[in-house]
Homo-oligomer: A and B are copies of this chain.
């Protein structure tokens, strides 16, 4: 048996999310189809994160095991030739037998991208959350600090999840402000990226936290409201959710030291 870890980039726009579903186009489904063809046997992969429909990945991870003839170092080129153009395997590596992309993961970084513009940029429609007002970034940074640490994040979980322990650790939550050169009338627009690293995340947690931070940026919530909203453990206090197109799974960590480097 060869156990393999693959790192995957995808544009989630055209997919009903990561997870395999009958009669639906999913990222996992497409990768399994390509790998099964290549390995001449049915391959099932385990992804680290079951991203929702429309959510993107710069570095999703997945593992699979099998007895196949193709050497591991040849898989990358061969599988990319079989995959649709919106999925790309960045790397393929052999791992220990006990490795499992979901259970061996020590943490993840997500990015949530927002663009503040009155003029819609058609090329960004599936990749940024478009807000037609300015955001108060320093208020968002103040609010962001309140999320750091090991806390019960029940407020920030969508219903429908079967998770009972809602305690999670957020290692870092940065608000990055940049300017983007849009082609709409050649104006520069403000892009605000929320970058969040944690041990693991509840269902829709990143999108609910992002939308809550946007409310702070819009000055509808104050940074000092956040500790109260967290402690309440009530979704009703953070009802809104940011749209999927702004969300990117950036990186999966399998090594504790790598996460620690991030936090410092």
Contact = CB atoms under 8 A, between A and B. Distances in A.
B184 A11 contact: no
A85 interface: yes
A119 B123 CA distance: 22
Interface footprint category on A: 20 to 34
A120 B184 contact: no
Contacts of A11: 122-123, 125
A74 to B, nearest CB: 16
B184 A125 contact: no
A23 interface: no
A10 to B, nearest CB: 6
A148 interface: no
Contact of A120 (B58, B85, B183): B85
Interface string A111-135: 0000000011111010100000000
Nearest to A11: B122
A258 interface: no
B122 A184 contact: no
B88 A120 contact: yes
A86 interface: yes
A80 interface: yes
What secondary structure prevails in chain A residues at the interface with B?
mixed
A87 interface: yes
Nearest to A130: B85
Contacts of A123: 11, 56, 127
A122 B85 contact: yes
Contacts of A9: 121-122, 183-184
Contacts of A90: 119, 184-185
Interface string A167-203: 0000000000000000111000000000000000000
Interface string A79-103: 0100001111010000000000000
A183 B60 CA distance: 13
26 contacts: A9-B122, A9-B183, A9-B184, A10-B122, A11-B122, A11-B123, A11-B125, A56-B123, A58-B183, A58-B184, A80-B120, A85-B120, A85-B122, A85-B125, A86-B122, A86-B125, A87-B122, A88-B119, A88-B120, A88-B121, A88-B122, A88-B184, A90-B119, A90-B184, A90-B185, A123-B127
Given A58-B184, A87-B122, 14 more contacts: A9-B121, A9-B122, A9-B184, A56-B123, A58-B183, A80-B120, A85-B122, A86-B122, A88-B119, A88-B120, A88-B121, A88-B122, A88-B184, A90-B184
